[in-house]
């Protein structure tokens, strides 16, 4: 116990292979059951439609558009990203994973899988919202970078919180409650950055610092997850 897995071991190729194996296993299960991706996509399209429909008569400001976009992405994430851990605990495979895989590989493997799930959501939500709201994105490159950076931070926090709520007694409700406040710095920044990337008159000098903040959040949360995941994952008693 005293020798924590945080100690600086050499990362050999088998470490990366185990991450790949966990990612591949989740992907294979998902492709067979399609549970998470269906929930995610249905939820995101439904909520997007409701928002667009109820605001069809009143043109949305760019502020409202970028905020709504991230609200839809956030809540979609909250419906599906806890799935992989909750299922692991429910079907009694979590202990098998604890016995055989290094904790860090579990974190990174699940993180990668959640990133891909969220990418699927964004691949549907973003084009649809651009069409529904007739948004013009003036800096498409920045816009993509913002989505990408937001995706990483959102997945990192969601992976940590999913591992936590999978061990509690009220998984579904708690997931969003725990994740939201921790994600606020990311969401505020992402909304701001999205707004800037939609606006033609903005200069690189104004967008770059905001995007840097997004990456600061990503790096901090990934590091924190990497360091703390073992404590979430394994019983100490």
Partner 1 sequence: MKAWYAMLGIWMSAVIYEAFALPEIRGLVGHPIAYFHPPIAIVTFIAFLVAMIHGLRYLRWNDPIHDVKSSKAAEVGLLFCFLATVTGAMWSKANWGTFWSWDPKQTSIFVVLLIYAAYFSLRSSTPNPDRRHRLCAVYTVIGFISAVLLMFILPRIGFSLHPNDAMMGGGSDRPVRLLFWASVLGFSGVFAWMMELAVKLALMEMKIKEMSQ
Partner 2 sequence: MSTSLTVTNLCKQFEHRVVLRNVSFSVANGHALVVTGPNGSGKTTLMRILSGLMLPTSGAASLEIDGTVVDFDERRREVGFVTPEVHVYPELTPVENLKFFHTVRGLEWDEAEAAHWLRRVGLDARRDDPVGNFSSGMKQRVKLICALAHHPSLLLLDEPGANLDERGRESLSGMVEIQRKRGMTIIATNDPKELTLGDEIVALRA
* Residues engaged in binding partner 1 (CB under 8 A): 157, 160, 164, 167-170, 174, 177-178, 180-185, 188-189, 192-193, 209-210, 213, 216-217, 220, 224, 228, 231-232, 235-237
Neighbours of 169 (CB within 10 A): 6
Q: Give the pair of three-digit tokens for residue 214.
A: 């997004």
Q: Among residues 91 and 169, whose Cβ is nearest to partner 1?
A: 169
Establish if 102 lies at the interface with partner 2 (CB under 8 A): yes
The region that residue 150 occupies, defined by phi over 0 for left and psi between -120 and 50 for alpha, beta otherwise, is alpha
- Measure the CA–CA gap between 13 and 26, rounded to whole angstroms: 20
Which of partner 1, partner 2, none binds 208 (CB below 5-8 Å, type-dependent)? Answer: none
Interaction with partner 2 in 207-236: which residues (CB under 8 A)? Answer: 235-236
Establish if 38 lies at the interface with partner 2 (CB under 8 A): no
Cβ(213)–Cβ(189) under 8 Å? yes
Establish if 5 lies at the interface with partner 2 (CB under 8 A): yes
Which of partner 1, partner 2, none binds 200 (CB below 5-8 Å, type-dependent)? Answer: none
Which of partner 1, partner 2, none binds 135 (CB below 5-8 Å, type-dependent)? Answer: none
Q: Among residues 92 and 205, whose Cβ is nearest to partner 2?
A: 92
- Measure the CA–CA gap between 119 and 125, rounded to whole angstroms: 10
Q: Give the pair of three-digit tokens for residue 189.
A: 């920044």
By CB under 8 A, which span of 8-16, 119-127, 149-157, 206-214 interacts with partner 2?
8-16
Establish if 17 lies at the interface with partner 2 (CB under 8 A): yes
By CB under 8 A, which span of 23-31, 61-69, 133-141, 154-162 interacts with partner 2?
23-31
E-state strands within 25-162: none
Sign of CA dihedral 115, 173, 125, 214: negative
Neighbours of 98 (CB within 10 A): 14
- Measure the CA–CA gap between 140 and 105, rounded to whole angstroms: 34
Q: How far is the CB of 158 from partner 2 (least distance, A)?
A: 21
Please identify which residue in 95, 123, 127, 184 interacts with partner 2, judged by CB under 8 A.
95
Cβ(155)–Cβ(119) under 8 Å? no
Cβ(1)–Cβ(231) under 8 Å? no
The footprint of partner 2 (CB under 8 A) covers 1, 3, 5, 9, 12, 14-15, 17-18, 20-22, 25, 28-29, 32-33, 91-93, 95-102, 105, 235-237
């Amino acid at each position: 116990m005293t020798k924590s897995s945080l100690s600086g071991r050499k990362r050999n190729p088998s470490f990366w292979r185990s991450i790949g194996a966990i990612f591949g296993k989740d992907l294979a299960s998902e492709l067979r059951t399609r549970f998470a991706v269906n929930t995610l996509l249905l939820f995101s399209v439904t909520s997007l439609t409701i928002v667009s429909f109820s605001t069809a008569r009143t043109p949305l400001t760019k502020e409202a558009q970028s905020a709504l976009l991230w609200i839809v992405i956030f809540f979609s994430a909250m419906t599906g990203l806890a799935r992989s851990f909750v299922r692991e605990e429910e079907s009694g495979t979590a202990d098998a994973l604890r016995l055989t895989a290094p904790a860090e590989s579990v974190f990174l493997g699940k993180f990668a899988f959640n990133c891909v799930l969220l990418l699927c959501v964004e691949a549907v939500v973003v084009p649809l919202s651009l069409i529904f709201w007739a948004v013009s994105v003036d800096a498409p490159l920045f816009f993509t970078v913002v989505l990408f950076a937001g995706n990483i931070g959102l997945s990192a926090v969601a992976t940590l919180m999913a591992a936590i709520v999978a061990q509690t007694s009220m998984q579904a409700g708690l997931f969003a409650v725990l994740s939201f406040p921790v994600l606020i710095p990311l969401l505020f920044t992402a909304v701001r950055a999205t707004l800037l990337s939609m606006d033609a008159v903005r200069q690189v000098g104004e967008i770059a610092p905001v995007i840097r903040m997004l990456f600061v959040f990503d790096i901090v949360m990934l590091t924190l997850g990497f360091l703390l995941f073992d404590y979430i994952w394994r019983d100490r008693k």
